[in-house]
Amino acid sequence: MTLKERFDTFTTPDFYSRVDSEHILELYIGLDEKGRRSMELRSAFNPRKVRGTSAIEVNQYENQKYKTIRFSLTDEEISGLFYTFCEDLIEQTRNLPDKTGGYNAIVVRFHQWKKMFISSKKDFLNEPQIMGLIGELLFLKDQLSKRIGFSEALKSWSGQELTHKDFSYGDTWTEVKTIRRSSQSVRISSLEQLDSEYDGELAVYALEKMSPEYKGITLNKLIVEMRNLFPDNDDRDLFMSKVALQGYEYHNYYDDFVYEQIYNKNFRVNSDFPRLTPDNVPEAVTKSIYDIDLNSIAEFEITD
């Protein structure tokens, strides 16, 4: 039974069930006195001041037997993130050497997740924006991080900053385009997008939309997975800031957009690559949006 399925069995406020009898910590899930989904640690500890967020309320209690720190979900629209957070707390503390470090481990882990827990908004990314962000994240995770490391790859990502290239690093750059499986072209949205005195590359990701039940790529899952790949807290914060610049906030809405990656192709953009730039169009042309046929640029594909 998944954690979500276990939460769904609870109907009585202020009722809790231990997560796992084999777990070194006494972790419980259930409904708090207000009927909100929550998770708590029961232990002996010296409480620290822990502030919640607009989406997660944090409370600490004490009785004659033990002390409690409780995390209660106040925004059901991000329940999927809450389940992932709970699973992370469970698994990351499972192999602690002893239970005395449990409270500190839980608090530290919460602070690492904290910036994810903000009240959900109702202004969502549209599907082309969702696909575009997925493509950029896949390039960062699967390609660029292997070339220059996760931290440097993150720093090279422009996101929605006022630059024309998606990624700029060293003396090269990459523009990422995400298309549907059936598409045979990519759209270039400005004269500057492929313009540079240095050679760069065009990375193309083709995705196919699947049913919500398919275990494929979703924006929520990809962002949570990637966030946990950064070992440094500052990099995690920078990563979340960059996805926020794209207009993203965690919401269950995005779980309905499920994709399968069909292929990825990279093309060398050099002086011979067919493109429009400010230098090769009439001076009177100040803006241009154009499509490049993928079959026509096969000779520029990077295969090594």
Mean pLDDT computed over every residue of the chain: 93
Can you give the residue ranges of every domain in the chain? 3-116, 127-300
Residue type, 166: D
Residue 190 above 50 pLDDT? yes
Within the chain, strands assigned E span 15-18, 26-31, 37-43, 56-62, 67-73, 167-169, 172-180, 185-188, 200-210, 258-269, 290-293
Closest Cα to residue 227, out of 241, 247, 246, 207? 241
* Cβ count within 10 A of residue 147: 12
Burial class (CB in 10 A: 0-12, 13-18, 19+), 8: exposed
Burial class (CB in 10 A: 0-12, 13-18, 19+), 267: buried
30-35 mean pLDDT: 96
Q: What is the pLDDT of residue 162?
A: 47
Q: What is the pLDDT of residue 119?
A: 74
CB contact at 8 A, 187 and 290: yes
- Residue 241's pLDDT band (cuts 50, 70, 90): confident
pLDDT digits (tens, 9 = 90+) for 82-134: 999 999 999 999 999 999 999 999 999 999 898 888 777 678 999 999 999 99
Query: What gap in Å lies between CA 35 and CA 171, rounded to an integer?
Result: 56
* Cβ count within 10 A of residue 239: 22
Q: Return the H-helix or E-strand segment holding 82.
A: helix 79-92
pLDDT digits (tens, 9 = 90+) for 136-175: 999 999 999 999 999 999 999 986 554 568 999 999 999 9
Strands 200-210 and 172-180: parallel
pLDDT digits (tens, 9 = 90+) for 194-217: 999 999 999 999 999 999 999 999
